Amino acid sequence: MDIGTTIIGAGVVGLAVAARCSQDHKNVFVIEKNEKFGQETSSRNSEVIHAGIYYPPNSLKARLCVEGRQLLYALCEARRIPFRKCGKLIVAINKTEEDFLASIEAKARNNGVEDLQYLSGDQVVRMEPTVRAVSALFSPSTGIIHSHRLMRYFVAQAQRNNVQFVYRCLVERVEPLSGPRYRVHVRYPDGQTEKFTTRYLVNCAGLESDRIAASTGIDVHVHQYEQFFWKGEYFSVVPAPGTINHLIYPVPLPNNEGLGIHATIDMSGRVKLGPNTIFLPQRSYDYTVDAAHRKDFFVAARRYLTGLQLDDLAPDYAGIRPKLQKPGDAVRDFIIQEESAKGMPGLVNLIGIESPGLTASPAIAEHVVRLLP
């Protein structure tokens, strides 16, 4: 079989790429190892539409987050994908944290996020009676989205453009042939194997995308494509509805490993706390939530959520971030690379697509299409 464009992975990024790419390209296939789309990181996240506040200036994360957020809101409105532009508060609970707010605001402004507003402690209480802060930054353009409905929309759009979805099909390796052409080796759950050729290949395999890249012969150590797994656990807050109306974030950790335990709401009004940030040295798909972490979540969130009780917290779910850095390393950007320079034209690798990958997904798709010949 000879395919035009093959996309590996039916997470939100692969689906966005399929929907967008099939507008211009014919004979597009999506290959997914699970039996349905969106079974991995894309359904194990906070479902926040990020404004683009924290990312390093001129990074892909900053640029694609801001662009993606604008595209997402327009898409949600036009296509009736459930979302809420609920806004978020970044709360400082003491003078030291308050001093950080100015640098956050400056970084955001540099990224094109110009709508952050300073709030006094009294203004915070008026907006959120159960939240304590000496001051805060309010981000009106942060929101939440029903991520499954977004993915369903991308699938429907792709199918309208005749994209073929092949589920339960594991890509074992990719063999570059001469010219823009690749032989893809796949395996089905019954052990049967198959191979096909494709002209263009977009590697959106999330947690496995570095391994797919390695199978083409790219040295992932030399090119720094190696991904590291970082688990993020969530606890739900049980007497939830009505307790908060905005997303509440602490001032982020100085180590760049996460945004700190924050309180989010989802489209059904459920309040949850998280995620924390746990390095998984073995790259294991460990989605367990350790109930013993309840106290840590409580202590972190109680700093700003005054009414919270330890008994309100119940272990919920976990996701895994594919980061390009190990503990202590500097924060890294997304890698979205067309590989002509490595002798593999028409191959686009997407590596390290952690947060804000959901927000950025429609902008990532536009970017990938521009990279394809």
Ligand X SMILES: Cc1cc2nc3c(=O)[nH]c(=O)nc-3n(C[C@H](O)[C@H](O)[C@H](O)COP(=O)(O)OP(=O)(O)OC[C@H]3O[C@@H](n4cnc5c(N)ncnc54)[C@H](O)[C@@H]3O)c2cc1C
Q: Would you count residue 335 as binding ligand X (CB under 6 A)? A: no
Cβ closest to ligand X, residue 118 vs residue 188 = 188
Q: Which of 5, 6, 22, 42 touches ligand X by CB under 6 A?
A: 42
Question: Least distance from C-beta 54 to ligand X, angstroms?
Answer: 12
Cα 246 from Cα 303, distance rounded (Å): 17
The stretch near ligand X (CB under 6 A) out of 73-81, 202-210, 288-296, 300-308 is 202-210
Token pair in block for residue 12: 């939100």
Cβ closest to ligand X, residue 113 vs residue 204 = 204
Q: Would you count residue 113 as binding ligand X (CB under 6 A)? A: no
Q: Would you count residue 158 as binding ligand X (CB under 6 A)? A: no
Q: Would you count residue 197 as binding ligand X (CB under 6 A)? A: no
Q: Would you count residue 48 as binding ligand X (CB under 6 A)? A: yes
- Expressed in percent and rounded to 5, the helix, strand and coil fractions of the chain are 30, 30, 40
Cβ closest to ligand X, residue 44 vs residue 135 = 44
Ranges within 254-283 binding ligand X (CB under 6 A): 275
Q: Would you count residue 52 as binding ligand X (CB under 6 A)? A: no
- Whether the bond between 356 and the residue before it is cis, its omega within 30 degrees of 0, is yes
Token pair in block for residue 233: 């656990």
Cβ closest to ligand X, residue 216 vs residue 359 = 359
Question: Least distance from C-beta 10 to ligand X, angstroms?
Answer: 5
Question: What is the pattern of x (binds ligand X, CB under 6 A) and - over residues 303-322?
Answer: ----------------xxx-
Q: Which of 7, 10, 60, 133 touches ligand X by CB under 6 A?
A: 10
- Tell me the site size for ligand X, rule CB under 6 A: 41
Cβ closest to ligand X, residue 179 vs residue 191 = 191
For helices 60-79 and 147-160, what crossing angle results, to 10°?
80
Token pair in block for residue 234: 């969530």
- Name 228's Cβ contacts closer than 8 Å, sequence gap at least 6: 279, 280, 283, 322, 323, 324, 325, 326
Q: Which of 13, 66, 218, 301 touches ligand X by CB under 6 A?
A: 13
Cα 181 from Cα 37, distance rounded (Å): 26
Cβ closest to ligand X, residue 135 vs residue 349 = 349
Q: Which of 357, 362, 365, 368 touches ligand X by CB under 6 A?
A: 357
The stretch near ligand X (CB under 6 A) out of 39-47, 88-96, 114-122, 335-343 is 39-47
Q: Would you count residue 62 as binding ligand X (CB under 6 A)? A: no
Q: Would you count residue 367 as binding ligand X (CB under 6 A)? A: no
- Assign 336 to helix, strand or coil: strand
The stretch near ligand X (CB under 6 A) out of 28-36, 93-101, 120-128, 217-225 is 28-36
Rounded to 5°, angle at Cα 183 from 182 and 186: 130
Give per-residue burial for 136-167: e unless 16+ CB within 10 Å, then b: bbbbebbbbbbbbebbebbbebbeebebebbe
Q: Would you count residue 50 as binding ligand X (CB under 6 A)? A: yes
Distance of alpha carbon 230 from the chain centroid: 13
Q: Determine phi and psi for 8, rounding to 5 degrees.
A: -95, 120
Taking the CA atoms of 252, 111, 363 and 173 in sequence, report the sign of the dihedral they define.
negative
State the Cα torsion 7-9-10-16 to the nearest 10°: -50
Could you list the residues that contact ligand X (CB under 6 A)? 8-14, 31-34, 39-42, 44-48, 50, 170-171, 204-208, 212, 232, 275, 319-321, 353-359
